[in-house]
Amino acid sequence: MDADKNAAYSTLYTVLKTYLQMLAPFIPFVTEKLWQNLADFSPEKVDSIHLTYRPMSSELYISRDLMEEIAQVRKIIKLALFVRAKNKVAIKQPLQKLSVKME
């Protein structure tokens, strides 16, 4: 197993673990079953997902620049859908050209 594959598996494990911890209060039985299945790949052993701490958010992981870029992309998509609806062009029909002028 090379370093890239190991990093990908580690990231996937962390994401699944955190996601299950967030969902545990809402769907306890499903998350417990998935947690037990995930425990086979875990270096630390925890009996139940309900005995773990909930994940905490951190300002360090929030990128304001990325959030602004995503807001611009959403605005472009919204305008493109508006133009399609105005000209009665189906969403399934691909466009030949779409130009966006950004300042």
Q: Read off the pLDDT of residues 70-90 as tens digits, 9 standing for 90 and up.
A: 999 999 999 999 999 999 989
- Residues 52 and 49: their CA atoms lie apart, in Å, by 6
In the prediction, which pLDDT does 52 show? 87
| pLDDT tens string 13-71 | 889 999 999 999 999 999 999 999 988 877 777 788 898 888 888 888 889 999 999 99
Extents of the domains making up the chain? 3-59
100, pLDDT greater than 80: yes
SS (H, E, C) the chain: CCHHHHHHHHHHHHHHHHHHHHHCCCCHHHHHHHHHHHHHHCCCCCCCHHHCCCCCCCHHHCCHHHHHHHHHHHHHHHHHHHHHHHCCCCCCCCCCCCCCCCC
Rounded to two decimals, the pTM is 0.56
Q: Which residues contact 1 (CB under 8 A, 6 or more apart)?
A: 9
Q: What is the pLDDT of residue 11?
A: 92
Output the pLDDT for position 85.
93
Report the pLDDT value the prediction gives residue 26, as an integer from 0 to 100: 95
